[in-house]
Structure 1
Amino acid sequence: MSVSRQKKVYLPTATRKNQYISVGFPLTDAYLANYADLESCYLESSKVIYQVAEKYELFNVHVIATDKLPMVRYHSEAYCLSTEEQLRFFYNPAHHEANRLHSIAGYRAKKIKIVFLATGTELRSNSATFHANVQKFIAEIKTLLPLNDLAVKVRDHQHISYDFFAKHKGIKETYGYKLRAVDNRYKRRECNLPEDVSALNYVTVSLPIGRRIKKQLLAENTTNFAPSYQHVADKFIAATKERQLFRVAMVANGKVPLVRNSKFEQLNSTAEFQMVGFDPNVDAPEPILHWQDDKLAEAIRFVIVAGKNDANDEGFGRFMNQIEEAIKSFTSQFDIDKEHIDLIVRFHQHLSYKV
């Protein structure tokens, strides 16, 4: 493979793209004192937020006052599913716009979080403009809401997702991605970021456990699945290690893995989320493995985190090519119905900072 080709990863043309930015601040007594009551606080704040957002061409805006974590995915229809800990937004960026307040009667949130879902058709090309518009929104909203000296946290989430087995389903055409680092992309498009930005890049892979997989990977009539899980983990770790991918995790306990930079954030798992912490500066940490010996998971989820050496001036193309090779090696050891099973690979790029 030529050097120039190594810097790109060729993914199916059906690859989906998402971007959303959250802006959060604590709901303090001082903030709340400016309103008649809790409900008025939420309604009046959200009204101002929507007005300012419209000014900066931010057309899909959600105000969250439930302390639930937003999760965003592509879908042809727009809807929101709520669990005890999550708000799952499904939408098509090319078609769907919304302004919505998510609150619970009588519940005082610890934080108010504003979530901006990217709209349009060229999300990656326009990601810097989208972020710059959110920055302009923050600058103006701080003069209109009683934020005073409250710390405002900005989180920018971008990901692309695709079915690793797309070719087996007849999707033959591909497109080359360099996958440049977010801060480099923004700098080239004159979207300025603070110096103390925390960035994290990683890949998740979700393998559903259907009947065919179950018969090979997991013994059906047993109450102890630990040996089977360890068998899968060993093969995954071997495949990634051979491609010089050392920051890996496997989660098979029914929880959604949340990847965080362990250098800056505390890691507290919950009933729905499995916190997975990596310091990108540590070259070869021990693999992180989470499962329940007596629980058969509906899906096994794998995580591969990029380190400082995995990015170059061109981007993460080489890193993704290594992952593609590792996944191919790993899955080739099992009999998988590639024409019907979707093995979803998702490349995440996150950055966060305070303003």
Structure 2
Amino acid sequence: MRYFHSDLFPRLLEEAACSLLISTYQAGQLVAVGVADGQLSFSFRRFDQAMGIALGAEWLAVGGRAEVWSLRQHSDIAPAMAPAGRFDRCWLPRASTVTGAIQCHEMAWGTSETGEPDLWIVNTLFSCLAGLDGRHSFVPRWRPPFISGLAAQDRCHLNGLAMRDGSPAFVTVMARTDEPRGWRAVRNDSGAVIDVASGEAVTTGLSMPHSPRWHEDDLFVLNSGLGRLERVDPATGDRDPVAALPGYARGLAIHRGLAFIGLSRIRETAIFGGAPIAAHHDQLKCGIGIIELATGNTVATLQFANGVEEIFDVQVAPRTRCPTLGGGPDTGDEVWVLPSERPPNLA
């Protein structure tokens, strides 16, 4: 993989005291990006069709082709991992839940009624929000009112989730349709942000929207087909453009006044080929853009020159300088974590 970045990219991560977690559907990688000795540091772990990412206090969830992976934080051992002293946070896979290929577009940790971490999953195939338990493929928890029933038909392409106060607040759909894959025929101007509590559309007329986010009493959304970050007024539905983006935008994290946005090249398929931004196909980039929300200026970029064609999700890991995802069976530097105490039958 070859990449290049603007001079400010590492410095902005350091100043914001954060690192990034990026999923790449087509390349099948979860990527942790941090800074060590003033230079960008990358750590990779392979997950088949890596999609949505949810970062909690102790657990990191990653959606894959047919399962949701659970990675446990092991930051106590991170400084000892080679090269010693480089890393300050570490996540390692501990379990996976087989869901089948539900197209897990986004995920987020909420808070249950008992105060426990509660994972919400955007189940695109079944047009619903879902949870997990130990018995079922998934547990349906909410669906838009225009969806008449559960079916593996991707009726509206429900794809994005914004949390507020520990609960789902807004979702994005590409069209308010109840027909099997009905969104594909009208996707370029039929997108909407839906209020979860009421089931009503907050704003409509978007082009293939993704990644709604509630941040400091503001609602943001990626108008992906037009390559724009927009601010939405939930009371009126009006949208103000924040920034134009040189790629198909999908994956948004906001931290300390900065928006970290995933940018992808358009794959020439029946799904993406007709998007308005596809008219500029030769100019589109794949990587991460950092937008200053106060001005709408692009203040730094990271671009992948090869190996990665599309970004699926982007999450910020706060208070993290240089994270690692450990090794793996395919890298030759796999990490094992054992109990500190020996079993009583051993000397």
TM-score w.r.t. the length of structure 2 is 0.29
Q: Computing the radius of gyration over CA atoms, which structure comes out larger, 1 or 2? A: 1
Larger RCO, structure (CA 8 Å, separation 6 or more) = 1
TM-score w.r.t. the length of structure 1 is 0.28
Name whichever structure is richer in helix by fraction: 1
Name whichever structure is richer in strand by fraction: 2
